[in-house]
Amino acid sequence: MIHPIPPGTRDVLPEEMRELRRLQRDLLDAFEGRGYGEVSTPAIEYDEVLARGDGRTASSAYRFFDERGDLLALRSDMTVPIARLAASRLAGAGTPLRLCYMASAYRAVRPQRGQMREFIQAGVELIGEPAPRGTAEVVEVLEAALDAAGLDRAVIGLGDADLYRQLLTEFGVEGEARESIIGRLATHDLVGLEAELSAVAGISDEQCATCVALSQLRGGSEVLAEARGLGGAAVERATARLQETYEELERRGVAGRVQIDLGLLRSRLLQRRHPRDLRPGARPCPGRWWPLRRVAEALRRRPPGGRLRPLPGAGPRRPDGGVATGK
């Protein structure tokens, strides 16, 4: 009799386990070698804490009641637990805080999507180091992690998470309409994006064209000048932030693998060449980009590489940044 396991889970056999452990050691060595201390948090958190920290990831969590009737949840991402840890146990610690982790996470999955219910997540969080230095440091650590995983041809996409929210506010688009447009941008649905923009009262054809054109700009620092040519205060602020970060990356000698991509939102901050391009001796396929979903076929990229959302009552907001991968 064959006893099945739930969809989205897997057994790991000895040969794979040895490779996975090697990869985990290499990643932790890369993190710790750059001053990041490993921490561990409970797999179970109060559901209220996860929901207050990030309602998007909390919605995919497995929930259950404990013996006292408290609603608990299995963590579906490590970002909020790290924010809770920083706001409580490390509240009085000096900054910047450099933390790293390697832990299992759990999430509900949608049928036929090939998603994992249980996966290993590895990452870093840098708290208290303002941009552009903080952002550049996280990118530098990410590059070291990619090298440790054998992905020395991976390309790191650099975008600005605030660009489109500020741009749409500048256009007078708020509320559900803005969130719907952001959703189209996140999925790169240009047809749907134009339809959504055209349906908003007061949006001109020029403003619609600006939003669509910005989402397709990617390349080296030269794209920032092209973006500025489209005009607008929001674009000017975003390109100035990106320019500062890119110059800091150049100063650190790690800009060579970074591509500025103004179409990137929080849900897709890393990219790599198509898998065919990763084979030894393979010729690149120009223009083909996939989200970085696996690290050496053992780790899965989580959306996140971004900023910690402050928990209510956690004290003053501190600059932060982070990146993570997961199985």
310 CB contacts (<8 Å, ≥6 apart)?
Answer: 83, 87, 317
Domain-embedded: residue 108: yes
CA atoms within 13 A on the CB side of 181: 27
Residues 43 and 136 in one domain: yes
Q: Is residue 9 part of a domain?
A: no
> One-letter amino acid identity for 215?
S
Is 140 in the same domain as 184? no
pLDDT for res 279: 33
Q: Would you say residue 65 lies in a domain?
A: yes
Reported as a single tens digit per residue, the pLDDT across 85-139 is 999 999 999 989 999 999 999 998 887 778 899 999 999 999 999 989 999 999 9
The yes-or-no verdict on residue 71 having pLDDT over 60 is: yes
Number of domains composing the chain: 2
Q: Name the more confident of 192 and 298.
A: 192
The single-letter code of the amino acid at 63 is R
Distance between CA 83 and CA 240 in Å, rounded?
A: 28
- Are 80 and 192 within one domain? no
Residue 296 has pLDDT above 50, yes or no: no
- Residue 175 and residue 113 share a domain: no
CB 108 within 8 A of CB 77: no
Q: Are residues 140 and 28 in the same domain?
A: yes
Q: Are residues 298 and 149 in the same domain?
A: yes
Domain that holds residue 62: 14-154+290-326
Q: Kindly report whether the global pTM for this prediction surpasses the value 0.85.
A: no
Residues 145 and 180 in one domain: no
Contact 124, 322 (CB under 8 A): yes
Dump the DSSP string for 185-222: HHTT-HHHHHHHHHTSTT--HHHHHHHHHHTT-EESTH
| Residue 5, in any domain of the structure | no
Average pLDDT over residues 276-284: 34
- Closest by CA to 99, choosing from 128, 75, 77, 71, is 128
The tokens for 174 are 């708020």
Distance separating alpha carbons of residues 308 and 306, to the nearest angstrom: 7
Residue 236 lies in a domain: yes
For residues 233-246, average pLDDT: 96
